[in-house]
Copies of this chain bind each other. A is one copy, B any other.
């Protein structure tokens, strides 16, 4: 894959993250940074977990979606937004649109889990389904947007989305500082790379001593390999993972440009390790985490951070998991 040039002016900055935090005040939950002294003892280092399953809609995605939507002008708000997503981004956009009184149309595969279709409709969004074998979701979304004059909200490769996700890191840094803790290393789960890119901006400005890593499931380590290669490479087609939130084929253009500059590297964990991490989050943190929300946690639990950092922060990025899969993780 070619690495098209990105102009610096297109990239979000730390100031954008700070401005996003201001916009999200009173809208997004300041989720707690949790830990377990028993777990810390067992691991031999201090592990802080940002509990984004407790965020509105059950994942960090609300942050970026609200930061994007709230900046639309009156006319654009009336015409509404369109997003394509089968998961957490859909719910984040739908919930943000509902708060702002905007119409939202979400393009979802017809065979998406009933619970995700219902949740998205529950936030007042119109759901348009497509056949994932014969139709292209981006084309469907573009057609709807053109018809209605609506704004398309992409899941990660947008300046305001990245800036919004970075507010999670601002909170981590402030919450750790309150307890007098310096964070040696941090990681966040990475699909398109919006969350970790926003976090990287925040850590580079406010806690530059922290080494920042992205975390990906085995078979979907396109960021790790792209960072090593110095340009964006795609995942090998045909890989599968239970981490349905982390299946993007390549890093985003904007996100990779940021991540290339700031990340110390990429960590990888398997589906089995994600399940074990879900069970640890259940037992030690009393937190429901979905597989794709547990990869950075899994990497920490498996001791994958280079250089034996003494204090590690990870983002548990979402908790929207079907009961059947959660039961399986507890039984493993």
Contacts and interface: CB of A to CB of B under 8 A. Distances in A.
Q: Is the interface of A mostly helix, strand, loop or mixed?
A: helix
A31 interface: yes
A49 to B, nearest CB: 11
Contact of A327 (B31, B287, B331): B331
A58 B323 CA distance: 22
A123 interface: yes
Interface string A101-143: 0000000000000000001001100000000000000000000
Contacts of A37: 56, 95, 98, 123
Interface stretch (A185-193, A199-207, A278-286): A278-286
A249 interface: no
A122 B41 contact: yes
A330 B323 contact: yes
Contact of A287 (B283, B288, B323, B330): B288
Interface string A35-57: 00110010000000001011010
B29 A286 contact: no
28 contacts: A26-B179, A29-B34, A31-B32, A32-B54, A37-B56, A37-B95, A37-B98, A37-B123, A38-B119, A38-B122, A41-B122, A51-B54, A53-B286, A54-B285, A54-B286, A54-B287, A58-B286, A279-B323, A282-B288, A282-B326, A283-B323, A286-B287, A286-B319, A287-B287, A323-B331, A326-B330, A327-B327, A327-B331
